Structure formats: structure tokens, C-alpha cells
Amino acid sequence: MSRQYHVAVVGATGAVGVEMIKTLEKRNFPVGKLSLFASARSKGKTLTFRGKPMPVHELTHDCFTGVEIALFSAGASRSREFADDAVKAGAVVIDNSSAFRMDPNAPLVVPEINPEDIKLHKGVIANPNCSTIIMLMPLWPLHRAAKLRRIVVSTYQAASGAGAQAMAELEDQTRDVLAGKPAVPKIMPHRYAFNLFSHNTAIAANGYNEEENKMVKETWKIFHDDTIKICPTCIRVPVLRAHSESIVAEFEKPITVEAARALLAKAPGLKLVDDRERNVFPMPIDATEQYDCLVGRIRQDLSQPNSLALFVAGDQLLKGAALNAVQIAEVLAQS
């Protein structure tokens, strides 16, 4: 990666945008020029990159001149409105929103799983939903070994998945409740402190919310296999950062706990945390600010043959968003 790239971050002042900038720096991505864009209310703010203050500019339709790689994390509506401008200006867009995930012309990529799909892009590459990425990281090596037949997954999703305002609301409500004051929901639909509730997305006709349906359809697209049966339940929990998931996976072939542990221990992007003697398993507090997803609690499903239960925790802002996007950019830069 000797050449340098003009990289833009769209939604630079948001929780994921800030992590994208940090990740570009930490991973030493070959940034020759960095342009930061956000809404008009963020114009004039500065963010730091490589020790230097970088101005945030207003996102406009003609702001992408010279940009080669554009990392978008400003929400689906902004992506739909501005991604085409970036592509027409010559950039490859790596989009973190839901806008293009199911677009047949946009590859949906987790670099540890399907990097070969990147070359099929027509200007836009989609970042999967955070819950999907964190689920698939441990399932992919197992799928390759024994072929998945069915997944039952329950998520424990942190406030970080809903952005900086939701994280602030959880902190504020926690202080209020501990001080004997009422917790007033403003960002989330329900009290967040000392509570949990079904994911705050719309319920579809099939009874599953938007987050749950994403996990099904995105898995099929990333794995290129729509025969896998998936039953998700997505829940918001009062954790600031990093999502966790309880997964039961049924396979076509038998797979032992020992074989699964061996596969997961050497899989890229994963760290095995499975200490039964000390009762130490993946926790969101340990996954926070970590690039790897933590996987453990690996055990045979007592109710079903050829089936394993496991637990995973991953930083939603990193592998679930910013890191995955930068990793896609790294594959682009190496190709």
C-alpha cells in the first residue's frame, strides 16, 4: 500500500465517524489527504488526525472532488442522497448505513468472510449491520467446517448501536435513577437505565423487527446461502458499548466442542475467551475498544444433535462499524 489516498469521512462527528478517523490512524491506512464532512450544524468543528486539527466541512453535493475512498456513516437518508455524488466524482463509497445493503449492485462485505465480493462493486460497498457482523464472525469458520443449517440468536445490544445521544441518555438516566429522580426517555422509546426492551425498530408483518429481519437477509447475502434458517431476537440492554449475542447453531455435520474451539482460536478477528474453571467468558466491558470479537461459552446443545451453543461480544463501533469499513478500504487499497 505504497500509494496515498484521498479519503473522506461523511458523518465525521458521529460516534462511528469519530471511530473511523481513529481507526484510519491506528491502522496506518495510507491517507494522503483526509476530508471530513458532516451536517451544517457541525461546520467549523475540528477533529484530530495524526496529531493535527482537521476542520469539519458541510456535506454538499459537490464536496467530493478528488476523493478516492469515501467512508459514509451519516444514516441511510444521507447515504441515498449523497453517495451517488461521491461515485460520480470518482470515489468508491463504503457505506455503513442500511441504504445499500440489499442492493444487488452493492456487495455486502465482512473482509474475514467474503473479501472476494469487493471486486464486484459498482461504486458502492455496503457495511453489514453491526449485529450481523458480530454474529457471523464466529459462525463463519464453523460454517465452513460443518455447514450451518439453523441459527437461533438473541442479542444484547448496547447504547452505542443507537449513537452518541443514546449513550448519553443511558448515562444521564442512570445518574437520575440513582439520585431518586425519574428517568425520562428522550432518545429511546422506553426507560433505559436498569431496564431492557425489544430493539427500537419497526415491527414488520412477520412479527420481527427491522433489526431482526436485517440479520436474516444480510446473513444470506454475505454467505451466499439463503437456505440457512435463522430466528433472531434483538434486545437493547443498559450497556454503554459493545454488543453481545447468545447463539445456538445447528449444523449439517457433527462438530465437537473441541473442534469448534480449535477453529475459533485460530480464526482471524476472533479471540477465544472460554475459561470454564474460572467462569470467564466474553463480556462487553472486555470487548470495548477491541478490534477482535470475543467468543466463548462453547458447549453442545443438550436439546439437538449437531448443534452448538456459544456467546460472543464485539465492539459495535469498531468491528460492528468503523473497523469493518476501514478493513474494506484496506482490501481496496491492496487490489
Q: Which of 63, 121, 243, 293 is catalytic?
A: 243
Spell out the per-residue pLDDT of the chain, length 335, in tens. Answer: 479 999 999 999 999 999 999 999 999 999 999 999 999 889 889 999 999 999 999 999 999 999 999 999 999 999 999 999 999 999 999 999 999 999 999 999 999 999 999 999 999 999 999 999 999 999 999 999 999 999 999 999 999 999 889 999 999 999 999 999 999 999 999 999 999 999 999 999 999 999 999 999 999 999 999 999 999 999 999 999 999 999 999 999 999 999 999 999 999 999 999 999 999 999 999 999 999 999 999 999 999 999 999 999 999 999 999 999 999 999 999 98
Distance of CA 301 to the CA centre of its chain: 27
Report the distance separating Cα 189 and Cα 93, nearest Å: 32
Query: Catalytic residue at 143?
Result: no
Half-sphere exposure (Cβ direction) of 13: Cα atoms closer than 13 Å: 17
Separation of alpha carbons 237 and 195, rounded Å: 7
| Residue 243 among the catalytic residues | yes
- 8, 82 Cβ separation under 8 angstroms: no
Angle (nearest 5°) at CA 266 between 260 and 272: 65
Q: What domains sit in the chain, N to C, each tagged with a CATH number?
A: 5-128+321-334 (3.40.50.720), 132-316 (3.30.360.10)
Q: Which of 130, 199, 234, 293 is catalytic?
A: 130
CB 54 within 8 A of CB 20: no
**pLDDT for residue 278:** 98
| 3-class DSSP state of 179 | coil
215, 232 contact by CB (below 8 A): yes
